[in-house]
Structure 1
Amino acid sequence: MQEWLEQFMGRFDRLDKFMDIMSGRHNVLNGERLLDNQDLCQLLNVSKRTLQRYRSAGELTYITIHHKIFYTEKNVEKFIRDHFTDGDNNSETELEPSG
């Protein structure tokens, strides 16, 4: 249990660092921060193809503006809460999809 908690808190630390980095450069729509594919790939430590699979499966909500895909911060937070758990993952830098 302690190891799981440490990994969980480590992920929050990485998210916090990521959000600090993003605070210097971000797009906003109706007052909500938007993340692009590159931002989300870095945040989740996944490939662009993996994001495409999440979108195609309807698991990750996105919007398209001028042929570019964006994800609202709120939808990304919901996606992480709903789809990612610690699982049997041995690496602190990767997130494992649940179920």
Structure 2
Amino acid sequence: MQLHTDKDCQELLQALNRTLPYIEQVLKTHKPLFDGERYLTSEELCSILKMSRRSLQDYRNKGILPFIQLPGKVLFRESDIRKVLEERFRPAYDGSL
């Protein structure tokens, strides 16, 4: 049987304290999949696309971005957003002919 010293216990506690912020970040940002699909809130999508809530609302109103309306909540299916972005992708013009 191996005895642990106070120093060993102190080092273990310090290591656990250093990992705590990483664990807290994962708990805040991890979203479990629902039937293999991830759903985003308006706030999350605005942050990802770097746009205002008003612009997001305009895209919804114009039918550009598909969404799911629940009482008091709007969700966007991640795969739908990816599809819209891919369909609207335009390569940069490099000037060569």
Same fold (TM over 0.5): yes
Match of 2:65, SS state, is coil
CA RMSD of aligned residues (A): 2.7
Distance in 2 between the 1:75 and 1:34 partners? 10
Query: Which one of the candidate residues 36, 45, 48 is aligned to 1:43?
Result: 48
Unaligned runs of 5+ in 1: 1-20, 89-99
Aligned counterpart, 1:97: none
Unaligned runs of 5+ in 2: 1-25
Higher strand share: 1
How far 1:84 sits from its partner (Å)?
A: 4.6
How far 1:80 sits from its partner (Å)?
A: 1.3
Distance in 1 between the 2:52 and 2:32 partners? 21
Relative distance call for 1:86 and 1:40 in structure 2 (3 A) is farther
Distance in 1 between the 2:89 and 2:70 partners? 27
| Identity rate, percent | 30
Instruction: Give the paired residue count.
Output: 68
Aligned counterpart, 1:71: 76
Query: Which one of the candidate residues 26, 31, 43 is aligned to 2:31?
Result: 26
TM-score (norm 1): 0.56
